[in-house]
A and B are shown apart, each in its own frame.
Chain A
Amino acid sequence: DAGVTQSPTHLIKTRGQHVTLRCSPISGHKSVSWYQQVLGQGPQFIFQYYEKEERGRGNFPDRFSARQFPNYSSELNVNALLLGDSALYLCASSLGSGSTEAFFGQGTRLTVV
């Protein structure tokens, strides 16, 4: 039974470029959340999507955007990359928007050079 899958696992981008990260939730889960984890910190909430609608947004600039598809998979997009965007990006899936047990993927390690 597949857990949360994220792709790619690693990525290197140049400053100013754009990146798209992908996430497939656990089968039956309708909510996907994105978190950013920089070295030495805990994960920071970026977005939550439920039934293709944005349900929450963390304190991140407009360069960050996301969407959820009819099959509940999700994409996180980051434009005009900065060195400070280098981090582990984690996707979490849960049954519903009010569900508190979130299950995380292995993350995408983004390095901006």
Chain B
Amino acid sequence: DQQVKQNSPSLSVQEGRISILNCDYTNSMFDYFLWYKKYPAEGPTFLISISSIKDKNEDGRFTVFLNKSAKHLSLHIVPSQPGDSAVYFCAASARMTGYSTLTFGKGTMLLVSP
């Protein structure tokens, strides 16, 4: 039972263009969402997050959009750079439970070519 789904295993984008990574969730208790970036042989690195009370959060080249009614979020990277090539994980948390464990998707491998 996958509660967080990233249906695209991989995505290829040209440098300078927009990268859009998608994530769907099924658990209505999730109220906080995060994106992590992971390079091989390293742990995941926190990228950006969004609370369920918002529909957009921006940090530099990275923007996360949340559509609660569709239980869908997306990460936009503009402009994409070759150094962005990594695996991106979407994660969700139910903070109302009092402790926050993260439920991750399977990840999307992004390849940005020069």
Contact = CB atoms under 8 A, between A and B. Distances in A.
Interface of A: 4, 33, 35, 40-45, 48, 50, 55-56, 58, 90, 92, 94, 97-107
B89 A43 contact: yes
A56 B99 contact: yes
Interface stretch (B36-44, B57-65, B77-85): B36-44
A44 B101 contact: no
Interface residues of B, number: 26
A110 to B, nearest CB: 14
Interface of B: 4, 6, 32, 34, 36, 41-46, 49, 89, 91, 93, 95, 98-107
Nearest to B43: A104
Given A100-B93, A103-B46, A42 B4 contact: yes
A45 B106 contact: no
B89 A98 contact: no
Contact of B44 (A40, A43, A45, A99): A43
A45 B103 contact: yes
A43 B46 contact: no
A48 B99 contact: yes
25 contacts: A33-B102, A35-B102, A35-B104, A40-B106, A41-B106, A42-B89, A44-B104, A48-B99, A55-B99, A56-B99, A58-B101, A90-B44, A97-B98, A97-B99, A98-B95, A98-B99, A98-B100, A100-B32, A100-B34, A101-B34, A102-B46, A104-B44, A104-B46, A106-B42, A106-B43
